[in-house]
A and B are shown apart, each in its own frame.
Chain A
Amino acid sequence: MFITLLRIELFKIFKRPRTYIAFGAIAMIVLLVQLALKVNGKDFIQLYTDSQSDTFEIPYESMNNGYFVCVAVLHMILIHVPLLVALIAGDMISGEAGLGTLRLVVGKPIGRTELILSKFMASTIYVVMLLVWMAIFALFGSILLFGSGDLVVFREENMHLMNQQDVLWRFFAAFVFAALALTTIAAMALMFSAFSENSLGPIVATVCVVIVFTIVQQLKVPLFEQTINPWSFTTHMLGWKGFFYVEKTAEGVTIDGSVENPASLVKSAGVLLGYILLFLTVTVQYFKRKDILS
């Protein structure tokens, strides 16, 4: 029955016009960024390399390749995708309550836990499809437009260069990690959705939580850095970036296939999985006991 429920949930998601807003928005934003970098790529790179242009020859053309563009796109887009995820996941239960279909569905011979898990799984599949779509446009589309090459990423205090052949797997890992991060958002939005009987509340609540914790993280208040930040899921959601931090030898040479501080990535993934489990458990326990009055 779980597969049946899942298929029904996916059918409902992809029959709704609002679902395609996210896909359309991503395609449009990616194309705009690609256009901008095609026209102004050098200026964009100069933003990062200006302080070093007296010391080094900056190979703007070879830097402005598909991989660089994709990282730029991900850096700009992924911070906003939680809203697109909340739009769908936050509507999963409260939307049905608002529509009046929840009472019809729950009154069927299906378990409430089964129902919640199928909605969660459908949200997860939606997240994955969103990221696959993003990968098609942002990664493969950029490679098509700009070609591939070595990747340079710019951190606050250093820049990491990666050999071309050492890049693709990092994108794959980053997308997988981003899927985990966005699934955490989906789980939280689903939880809020169970508490509410209108869609707007859970969507707004999800976005607000993300914003608040992101701001707390950026404030750099020592108290928050010691207590909240290490466990805030917004901190760990950014872990996809860690796949582009390369480890180096004592002589400063990067090690192909390496990541700086892999333990931190594992920890981040663990924290996110923990949050998913927590949100799901709360949702299931609450929904099992909830009186359906809508």
Chain B
Amino acid sequence: MRKLLVFAAILLPALLPAQDVKELLQKVKDKYDQVKDYTAEGKLKTNVLFIKAPVATVKIWYKKPDKIKIKNEKGVSFIPKGSVNINMNNVLGLSNYEAIVSGTEKVGGTDCKVIKIFPLSDEDNISRATLYVDEQQLLVKRSVISTRENGTYELVMQYKQYAAYGLPDKVELTFNTRDYKLPKGISIDYDNGADKDKKERTAPKKGKVEIVYTKYTINKGVPDSVFN
């Protein structure tokens, strides 16, 4: 009997009605929906095997429901295309999907509900998503999003100052990278005796960017022309 109770206790959360999960996601969406638009500034750090880049100052624009743009206005930065997924509405805004809870996990020291989302429409770019939701604060702390066209992205968010709006202070985006190799004739190479990069070539082919937000301007209006 006791075994049965323990078994039920473990299994029960997974058998929570899909409706409850969706309710939770809706609450999270409502929180994120407070923000109709924002303009933010941040520091972008790139950690990709074949890119050596300085920390860049970037500007981020967002307009509901799905417009997001990140740009280094004064310099050069290689912004991963997957950074559009920083906008949680890409997942939270899905209308036709199934969701199940797949346990809990700690993210950044906080217990989060692991919710797997399966879009039902073939037209959605997202094929699957896993959200790690802080139920208390109704915040998505981590997400793993698989897209049909651009591979899989992982986001880890930290919230402090703008947690009430669902706006992170720091986002880490991890994504798949493709091999980079240039023919010798066109590269600006010469043998300078440094071959340590060669050793790193055996490392997994993933890149990471980190954006630390320094300032948000929320719901003040962002023209559509910014996103052209």
Contact = CB atoms under 8 A, between A and B. Distances in A.
Task: Establish whether A and B are touching in the complex (CB under 8 Å).
Answer: yes
Interface of A: 47-48, 51-52, 54-59, 62-63, 71, 75, 149-164, 166, 217-218, 229, 235, 238-239, 241-242, 244-246, 248, 251-254, 256, 260-261, 263-265, 267-268
Given A56-B80, A254-B53, A163 B192 contact: no
Contacts of B76: 59, 62-63, 149-152, 161
Q: Is the interface of A mostly helix, strand, loop or mixed?
A: mixed
18 contacts: A52-B78, A54-B150, A55-B80, A55-B177, A57-B80, A58-B78, A62-B72, A155-B187, A156-B189, A157-B50, A161-B78, A163-B75, A239-B190, A242-B190, A244-B188, A252-B52, A261-B194, A265-B192
Interface in B189-210: 189-194, 197-198, 201, 207
Contacts of A246: 52
A260 B196 CA distance: 11
A235 B192 CA distance: 9
Contacts of A59: 71-72, 76-78
A241 B175 CA distance: 31
B75 to A, nearest CB: 4
Nearest to A248: B52
B84 to A, nearest CB: 10
A154 B48 contact: no
Interface residues of B, number: 45
Interface in B51-101: 51-55, 71-72, 74-81
Interface centre among B48, B80, B188 (most CB of A within 10 A): B188
Interface centre among A56, A152, A244 (most CB of B within 10 A): A56
A235 B54 CA distance: 29
Given A59-B76, A152-B76, A241-B189, 16 more contacts: A47-B186, A52-B180, A54-B178, A57-B78, A150-B72, A155-B187, A157-B181, A158-B49, A159-B180, A160-B52, A161-B51, A239-B190, A246-B52, A252-B45, A253-B45, A261-B193
A57 B184 CA distance: 24
B104 interface: no
Interface centre among A63, A159, A163, A218 (most CB of B within 10 A): A159
A260 to B, nearest CB: 5
Contacts of B184: 156, 218
Contacts of B194: 245, 260-261, 264
B178 A155 contact: no
A252 B177 contact: no
A242 B207 CA distance: 25
Contacts of A248: 52
Chain A to chain B: the 9 pairs with minimum beta-carbon distance, closest first: A238-B190, A150-B75, A252-B47, A150-B76, A161-B53, A158-B50, A56-B78, A261-B194, A156-B187
A34 B77 CA distance: 23
Interface centre among B48, B71, B191 (most CB of A within 10 A): B191
A252 B189 contact: no
Contacts of B192: 239, 241-242, 245, 260-261, 264-265, 268
A47 B179 CA distance: 15
A242 to B, nearest CB: 5
B188 A71 contact: yes
Contact of A75 (B74, B188, B198): B188
A238 B187 CA distance: 13
Contacts of A267: 193
Contacts of A150: 72, 75-76
Interface string B160-193: 0000000000000001111111111011111111
A261 B54 CA distance: 18
B46 interface: yes
B182 A154 contact: yes
A252 to B, nearest CB: 4
